[in-house]
Structure formats: C-alpha cells, structure tokens
Structure 1
Amino acid sequence: MKASSNPIEISFERAAMRCADLTPLVYRRLFDAHPEAQAMFRTDGGDLVKGSMLALAIEAVLDFAGERHGHFRLIACEVASHDGYGTPRELFMAFFAVIRDSVRDLLGEEWSTEIAQAWDQLLVEIDAFARATA
C-alpha cells in the first residue's frame, strides 16, 4: 500500500493509530464548546447517530481534501439538511473544526506545520463551498 502524501489523510491515519474511535473525543469537544448542540441529538440511539455522522463527515472531508470523487458533495446536502433541522450554519461549520482539533490533540508533537496549514486551508475551502451551495 502506497503511503499518502496528503497532509489531511496523514493526520487521520496517524490519529487512527492512536484511537480506534474518534466519536467520543469529537462529541465531547463539540458539546464542551457548543452545549446547545447536545440537545440536538436524541438520546435513543444517539451514539449510533453520532458515529455515523462523524464517519460520513470524515469520508466527505477526505474526499474534499483529495481527489473529489463525489463524496464531498455530502457537505452541501448536509448543509441543507441541517438548515432544515434549525442548526445554525456556524455550528454546522464548527463541527469540522472540532474534528480537526480532536485529530490535532491525538497527534500531539506529530501535528506538523504542514498538517496545520492543510487543515486551515481545508476549513476555509469547506466554508466557501458550503456558502456557495446554500
């Protein structure tokens, strides 16, 4: 298997070596930073919903940061969907920063300038994409 040169992919690969499931880390951080988000999740089956939502978000992020085969379009669909749920756009976009911050904490000293810059640029591009599709 060929090693990736994409800093976003590298960050997720390294995070996966340290943590089998990012879900608890991501949602703890999300709810700490945005307590209002916790009420948006039903308690029945909530962990499955959270895990599924995170997996889809990561898949979309990886595609957006990579070759853009189409999975990234889920971001536009979810912008519209979350608008329908009454989720503020800022909170929707904050989720991607929460993912980044969770990965950054897992990587510790392996969080390089190159990875940080790639994530910063990615978040700007995702925000622009989400605004363009709204």
Structure 2
Amino acid sequence: MNASLNPIEQSFDLAAMRCADLTPLVYQRLFREHPEAQAMFRSQGSEPVKGSMLALTIDAIVDFAGTRSGHFRLIACEAASHDAYGTSRELFIAFFAVIRDTLRDLLGGEWSPDIAQAWDNLLVEIDAFVGGPA
C-alpha cells in the first residue's frame, strides 16, 4: 500500500483489497438505516445507477479529503440536485456516514484511530460544505 495515501484514501484502498464492489454493502446498510431511501430507487434496473452514484461519491470524497482538484464540487452540486428531488439534506449527508460505517465494518481491526478521526473530520467538513439542512 502507498504510504503517502491520506487516511480516507487508505480506508478505500484497504476496502478494495477485501471487496470488489462496495455497492451492495453500502445500499443494504443505507436501506436498513434509512428505509425511506429505498423508495427513491426503482425496484428493478437501479443497480447500475447505485454503482455509478457510489463511484462518483467515492471520487468526490477522495478529492475532498485530498487535493480538492475539482471532483469534490460534485458534493455541492448533488446536494442541490437531491434537494430538487425532495431528498432531505439530512439523508443526503447520512449517505456519507453510511459509506464510512460500511468501510469501518469491512476493515475491522485495520480501522485505525487515524482513519476514524479522518472520517469524523470529513463528515463535519462535508456537512459544513453543503450547508447542513436545506
């Protein structure tokens, strides 16, 4: 593993060694913790949408936690877009915590205090970045 990775990148890198596709794990958790989110997806044919949405979110998270070269702006754009869809800001932000919690469970003992602290800080920064509840 590349030692220059920040803890957020590290968490995704470690997860990639354990799981080829986080999509089912993330959405199972999302729907379990926020059942209202399931109605936002078609019952059939939404798997590619979920995968794409998660991949774009991960790219934005990694950029937000790192160089902020541009992909991170997707977070603010999608917050506004989801507002238009009727998604509460709380649910929008909760998706990031669901990703974190999925990674934490997947990594088990490799979920270090540095990774935990980085994720806690990231979630606070994302909340502030999108302005909290709309």
TM-score of the aligned structures, taking structure 1 as reference length: 0.95
Q: In 2, are the aligned partners of 1:4 and 1:10 still within 8 Å (CA)?
A: no
Find out whether 1:103 has 2:66 as its counterpart.
no
Find out whether 1:7 has 2:11 as its counterpart.
no
String of CA shifts for 1:65-89, please: whole Å, max 9, x gaps. 0000000000010001000000010
CA distance in 1, matches of 2:49, 2:18: 23
Residue correspondences, number: 133
Partner of 2:76: 76
Question: What stretches of structure 1 move > 6 A for 4+ residues in a row?
Answer: none
In the TM superposition, what are the counterparts of 1:46-57 in structure 2 within 5 Å? 46-57=46-57
Gaps of 5+ in 1: none
Gaps of 5+ in 2: none
TM-score of the aligned structures, taking structure 2 as reference length: 0.95
Partner of 1:63: 63
Partner of 2:18: 18
**Counterpart amino acid of residue 105 in structure 1:** D
Partner of 2:31: 31
Find out whether 1:43 has 2:43 as its counterpart.
yes
Q: Equivalent residue of 1:80, what SS?
A: helix
Query: CA RMSD for the aligned pairs?
Result: 1.4
| 1:42 Cα deviation after fit | 1.5
| 1:2 Cα deviation after fit | 4.6
CA distance in 2, matches of 1:69, 1:90: 26
Query: Larger deviation: 123-132 or 83-92?
Result: 123-132
Identical amino acids, percent of aligned pairs = 76
CA distance in 1, matches of 2:73, 2:25: 25
CA distance in 2, matches of 1:2, 1:20: 19
String of CA shifts for 1:87-117, please: whole Å, max 9, x gaps. 0100000000000000001100000101000
